[in-house]
Amino acid sequence: MTHSRTALTHPISGGISDRLDRGRQAAPQVFERLREMIISLVLAPGTVLNRLTLQQEFGLSSTPIRDALLRLQEDGLVDIFPQHATVVSPIDLTLAHQAHFLRRSLELEIVRSLALSPDPRLIARLQGFLAQQQALMEAEDFEAFSAADQAFHQHLYEAARMSDLWILVRSRSGHIDRLRRLHLPTPGKAQDIVQHHRLVVRAIAEGKADEAQEHLRHHLSGTLAHVEEIRAKYPGYVRG
């Protein structure tokens, strides 16, 4: 990760256009791929996205590229300056706090409902996620660990039959997710995440709804409590 402005004038990765599903519309796939790269900070705040380079990289015309960038703009992940440039936006703290509020409000009720009716099959699946996270943490594979973290939370929504709410949360979480990704390599952070997950799972398994909520509340608040440290380490990445 660099702290200076960079420009996307070279290929994103080899053969990316071959991975597009020609049976689906192109613009949503470009949006999903670029969003993933922004969230993971492969495309850091300040990166200039060259539309012609994107057209060549994805093997597409200008229209799906334009539509994908407009969707990213709606999510606040890029700033479009007409006739000038499209730039990956800084992390917006206001939007990060809003996403945190939404996710915390929903997940507190989700873990409560799961704890009030403990399901041994769910607990076994969640234990499997925990084992995966532990292994990735020990390997210091932060990209895969971040994905496993998201999969753990997504499964809570699915278990509560609230899958559509997970889609809503994910669509609003671009800024808080980037903060979390910056914070994740901090020594002890991944260990804290795994420990919090363990405590939530144990409370659900034991039918302790209040404890499940308390552990989840503490878990979700971890990154926002360290915003100033993140801002100091990554100057220019955070605004607000």
Q: What is the pLDDT of residue 222?
A: 82
Task: Kindly report the pTM of this predicted structure.
Answer: 0.86
Mean pLDDT, to the nearest integer, of 6-11? 50
Q: What is the pLDDT of residue 13?
A: 45
Q: Go through the domains of the chain in sequence order and give each one's CATH number.
A: 7-89 (1.10.10.10), 92-239 (1.20.120.530)
Maximal CA-CA distance, the chain: 59
Mean pLDDT, to the nearest integer, of 38-45? 95
Q: What is the pLDDT of residue 2?
A: 39
In whole angstroms, what is the distance from residue 238 CA to residue 236 CA? 6
What are the pLDDT digits (tens) for 108-120?
A: 999 999 999 999 9
Q: Are 194 and 137 in contact (CB under 8 A)?
A: yes
Q: Are 31 and 64 in contact (CB under 8 A)?
A: no
Q: Are 111 and 153 in contact (CB under 8 A)?
A: no
Q: What is the pLDDT of residue 104?
A: 96
Would you say residue 21 has pLDDT above 90? no
Nearest Cα neighbor of 25 from 58, 54, 52, 73 is 58
Residue type, 123: I
